Structure 1
Amino acid sequence: MIIPQTRNIGLPMMNLMRFKGLPILQQLQIEEQLLRTSSENWCIINDGTNDPTIVMGVSGKPAELLEIESVLRDQVPVIRRFTGGGTVIVDNGTIFVTFICNKEAVPDLQPYPRPIMSWSSTLYSKVFQGIGDFNLRENDYVFGNHKFGGNAQSITKNKWIHHTSFLWDFDVRNMAYLKLPKRAPAYRSARGHLDFICRLKDYMPRSIFIDKTVEAAGTQFSLRSLKSEAIETCSKTEFCPSTRFLTNEELEAAAVAGQ
């Protein structure tokens, strides 16, 4: 169902879908399907996911990134997503924002990782104008020296996707499931998780952040809001996503191989 919305004449059209508590596996599979099969531009905002879940990049190695024994003991689900980027544990305190765009959607934007990251930081600078010391540091969104947003991308022949997990809040205990990555941004300076990240809620109310993100997207695109029923239409398209849960057997084998 389409919700009528004011159009910005001359800007490329973008479908906007907003969810609350959509399971992160379902969100990622929807995004993968839209990237592979849709000819339209999309913005997806998911306000939290109910169950704590670890999400790894497409090439991530569990033995290097996870405290596998603790993950298995506590039965924390682990997803391998279809995009690159790092590992994060997400839950109800995480806000997800995704842009899926045709290569010609943003004028003069070269479809490569660095230009896309730069474009995204310009968009979010509108969201955080006058709030904190917002910046893009390497591939992270930070306030000062502390990360609150992690990014991942995938670029295909005709489209690209840029999605972000924003740490509006987080449970300190969940960070113990993640190892310090061997490859880390230089500005991290070997800091532990809790010295490296910060909470977006200390800077901005949750609903204001989401509203400002939609407003910022509306300066670049003519937004058309779709209700979640539109996903049912997408799901009818035959598509086999690569994003999936890792099995306990796979995690156990990774732990043995990593010893």
Structure 2
Amino acid sequence: MLYIYNKNTNPYFNLAAEEYVLKEFKDECFMLWRNEPSIIVGKNQNTLAEINLDYVREHKIPVVRRLSGGGAVFHDLGNLNFTFIVNADEGGFTDFKRFAQPIIDVLRKLGVEAEFSGRNDITIDGKKISGNAQYYYKNRILHHGTLLFSSNITDLSAALKVRPVKFEDKGVKSVSKRVANISEYLKEPITIEEFINLIMEHIKEQTGGGEMYEFTEEDLKKINKLVEEKYGTWEWNFGSSPDYKMKHEKKFPGGTVEVNLNVEKGIIKDVKIYGDFFGKYDISEVEDLLKGVKHSEEEVRKALSKINLQDYMANITIDNLIEVMF
């Protein structure tokens, strides 16, 4: 088995690194890594329905889609991520406890009574400290999980607190649970670096040894190419969301605006704008302008900049309309 302590904290790079090791390596692997503040959404989720977009914009938080299913999670440097990549037949898929148990054993060595709970969580005193997810590829299983060690719980809840926007979609919804940090339960305080070393040494013992591995220049080149072509793109992180309908209404000085969107593969297929605002020209011209545009703030803003919105919605700004559309 290869053991990797990936010290890169860029979430786009780290998600790409997982896929690279899964698909390009033949060896089994255990990897530890952390992300700077970011939101990681499950493969089958509607990204916009899972995040607090205002908070994400304000704090410039990266949003990245992962390969595995499950719900959205907030990462920061107080959260440690672990990844097992093993060679196994399909029958081993969804055996979450097998991969969570070594982590539980480390916590118990530290005097922390952790346990496997439900389908894919590790809990302490009924509070979630780890969520786990899996992905299967050509007889290889990728199992990864979070470990809230000293994470900012306030930021976590704020980033994932969705605004009251009405989405109709088939995306997998995240389930809110009470969470806690491992550091709160330690009898003797340790740093996250010490925690990382304890886990790595324990896994080495349990798996019979192997070698520490550092990404080569060639590895880094290929991982960064994957970031450029996939993990760093709007198409993967937002456009890959399941098709959805969205309805949102807001009142401005120029009147009430209600927007109904039908989005397929990240592209606005249909849009209806209602409200008690006034305009010289018919609002259907704005609707037609928005059809076929990516449901991204940048692209919508670019499309709206081609017209004088005041002619269609007096005293309603482009910022106002975008606020209702996201």
The match for 1:11 is: none
CA contact (8 A) 1:128 1:134 kept: yes
Identity over aligned pairs, percent: 21
Measure how far apart 1:183 and its partner are: 4.8
Give the 3 Å change call, closer, same or farther, for CA 232–146 of structure 1 in structure 2: same
CA contact (8 A) 2:42 2:66 kept: yes
The match for 1:156 is: 137
SS of residue in 2 equivalent to 1:69:
helix
CA RMSD of aligned residues (A): 3.0
Measure how far apart 1:100 and its partner are: 0.9
Residue 213 (str. 1) matches residue 202 (str. 2)? no
The match for 1:94 is: 79
- The letter for the 1-side match of 2:112 is G
TM-score in terms of structure 2 length: 0.61
- The letter for the 2-side match of 1:34 is V
Residue 38 (str. 1) matches residue 42 (str. 2)? no
Aligned length: 227
The match for 1:8 is: none
**Any stretches of 5+ residues in structure 1 without a counterpart?**
1-13, 189-195
Residue 135 (str. 1) matches residue 123 (str. 2)? no
The match for 1:4 is: none
Q: State the alpha-carbon separation in 2 of the partners of residues 243 and 233 from structure 1.
A: 18
TM-score in terms of structure 1 length: 0.75
The match for 2:99 is: 120
Give the 3 Å change call, closer, same or farther, for CA 18–141 of structure 1 in structure 2: same
Post-superposition Cα deviations, 1:126-155, rounded to whole Å, max 9, x if no partner, equal 212252321111211111210111212101
Q: State the alpha-carbon separation in 1 of the partners of residues 296 and 57 from structure 2.
A: 8
Decide which structure has the larger Cα Rg and report it: 2
The match for 2:175 is: 184
SS of residue in 2 equivalent to 1:132:
coil
- The letter for the 2-side match of 1:224 is E
Residue 243 (str. 1) matches residue 231 (str. 2)? yes
**Any stretches of 5+ residues in structure 2 without a counterpart?**
163-171, 239-293, 301-321
Q: State the alpha-carbon separation in 2 of the partners of residues 250 and 56 from structure 1.
A: 17
Q: Which moved more, 1:119-128 or 1:153-162?
A: 119-128
CA contact (8 A) 2:11 2:62 kept: no
- The letter for the 1-side match of 2:15 is L
SS of residue in 2 equivalent to 1:222:
coil
Q: State the alpha-carbon separation in 1 of the partners of residues 70 and 16 from structure 2.
A: 17
Q: State the alpha-carbon separation in 2 of the partners of residues 119 and 257 from structure 1.
A: 45
